[in-house]
Amino acid sequence: MTRAYISCDMASVALGADDIAEALTAAGCTVIRTGARGLFAIEPLVEIETTDGARIAYGPVEPEDVPAILDDTHPNRIGDLATLPFFAKQQRFTFARCGITDPLSMADYTAHDGWKGLAAARALPPQAVVDAVKASGLRGRGGAGFPTGIKWQTVLDAASPEKFIVCNADEGDSGTFADRMLMEGDPYCLLEGMAIAGHAVGASHGYIYVRSEYPFAIRALNAAIERAGPILAPFTVEVRVGAGAYVCGEETALLESIEGKRGQVRAKPPLPAIQGLFGQPTVINNVLSLAAIPFILAEGPERYAEVGFSRSRGTMPVQLAGNVKNGGLFEIGFGITLGELVNDIGGGTESGRPVRAVQVGGPLGAYFPPSMFDLAFDYEAFAAAGGLIGHAGITVFDDTVDMAAMARFAMEFCAVESCGKCTPCRIGSTRGVETLDRIIGDRIKGAAQREQALEAMPQMRNAKVKHRSVDEEIGVLRDLCETMKFGSLCALGGFTPYPVLSALDHFPEDFGGARALPQAAE
């Protein structure tokens, strides 16, 4: 009987994968649901297994295409996916199995090198495992880029009868989906990484904090936890589902949420590694950090570290989104340039218009113009350029984008998602929206038309009575960004200035100011 592989990933299903699967089943095929391959321009995608075990891909396809697929006459025949440049160029360490195996098949996972890392780790004393992670150069893939091995060392060194492994799967950045793809497409990989972490630091229980918007991932994880229980033992894992707050992706707010409290950021210190979940030493890592661990232990840290650029070692699952032709997941060693990612891999905009800006690192990341496309994908290089890699989501915009509106969106996003604990974020984000509204209003209507409401309060004797110019308003906005950047308690308020300042710096013409301000960041 013919074996057909179709993704069960939420994005694939949204594009119609279930209907294709149904049609193929009706046609007598054995359908195997896999994770997503990661290139959504070719979804819904079907792969038909040949007699020699190879897979021939077709995509995108429709349910009525089934006969053409089965007699190999479909015009969208791709053939061997690995030969497509999008895949051929990748270095899939973390996502090696994703799109190939049945996510919940223990046999598949084992057959594709699963559990090798855990076995290797358990043959080593905890310190040796931590040393291996240190040697790999792995840094936190959630965005902060803190060396994972050093974090683990802190937890290993903390004397406590109880420790925890917490996986941050509250993937809330716009344009990011790598965590979800991995949890849906290769959940055992994450569990294996957590069990290795548990062994390394002396923790016996783990939590995966998943956002409620990921029902497929939650289902997959729960099923995987049940099936892998005996192998993970004595380590145990449970899934906790978030309640829709973006800020709960911030590690300390996430811990509060798991503890059943209001999702509010904690001040650090104490570091979660010393006093984390329920006051106990806690490893809190992103999905991608933990999912990189099995490879490192199975293949050796040198194998992982030999890929990369400068102090950024190993691979990064880059997510291309927004107005881009080849949207999807692209895992590659650090060092590739932004331009290669957007133009060569991503194929430019979906609309066919020129790229004007890309935002890297989610809604709190900086906007870059094409003039900066030679920037190497590297934590330090991006920081030096006034930006951040974050969770490696890249959102592409064409030349119709209004960058003042995008700056306003950044402030609005912060205002909506702020937990309200610290003042710069709680009040500053709202004042940021208001200030940008004045700037945008002036640009549209002309400054003279604006209502003179600023000094409506009689007590405001010391406020400027005269209407402020746009440049003065921009000065207020820059001051606010400085207050938020250096004064906020966590990265939500602290990073909101990145998109705002980068928009101001690189696209001053959208703000209606007298002239472009100097490019240098403060």
Return all residues near 34 (Cβ < 8 A) that are at least 6 apart. 5, 6, 7, 8, 99, 100, 101, 102, 103, 185
Least distance (Å) between residue 456 CB and other proteins: 6
Fill in the amino acid letter for 369.
P
Identify which of residues 359 and 429 has a Cβ nearer to other proteins in the complex.
429
Look at residues 389, 320, 492, 497 and name the one whose alpha carbon lies nearest to residue 143: 389
Least distance (Å) between residue 422 CB and other proteins: 5
First to last CA, the chain: 65
Q: How far apart are CA 288 and CA 282, in angstroms?
A: 17
- The contact set with other proteins (CB under 8 A) reads 245, 247, 262, 264, 267-269, 415-431, 434-435, 453-457, 459-460, 462-464, 468, 476, 479-480, 482-483, 486-489
Q: How far apart are CA 280 and CA 282, in angstroms?
A: 6
Identify which of residues 49 and 482 has a Cβ nearer to other proteins in the complex.
482
Identify which of residues 51 and 462 has a Cβ nearer to other proteins in the complex.
462
Least distance (Å) between residue 386 CB and other proteins: 16
Identify which of residues 350 and 455 has a Cβ nearer to other proteins in the complex.
455
Least distance (Å) between residue 194 CB and other proteins: 28
Identify which of residues 238 and 434 has a Cβ nearer to other proteins in the complex.
434
**Alpha helices in 368-449, H assignment, sequence order:** 379-384, 403-417, 423-426, 428-445
Identify which of residues 223 and 460 has a Cβ nearer to other proteins in the complex.
460
Q: How far apart are CA 328 and CA 275, in angstroms?
A: 37
Assess contact for 264 and 256: CB atoms under 8 A.
Answer: yes
Identify which of residues 449 and 462 has a Cβ nearer to other proteins in the complex.
462
Q: How far apart are CA 200 and CA 194, in angstroms?
A: 10
Least distance (Å) between residue 376 CB and other proteins: 23
Helix, strand, coil % over all residues of the chain, rounded to 5: 45, 15, 40
Least distance (Å) between residue 56 CB and other proteins: 51
Buried b (16+ CB within 10 A) or exposed e, 251-273: bbbbbbbbeeeebbbbeeeebbb
Identify which of residues 448 and 457 has a Cβ nearer to other proteins in the complex.
457
Least distance (Å) between residue 467 CB and other proteins: 11
**The token pair that represents 4 in the structure block:** 């057909």
Look at residues 398, 402, 403 and name the one whose alpha carbon lies nearest to residue 367: 403
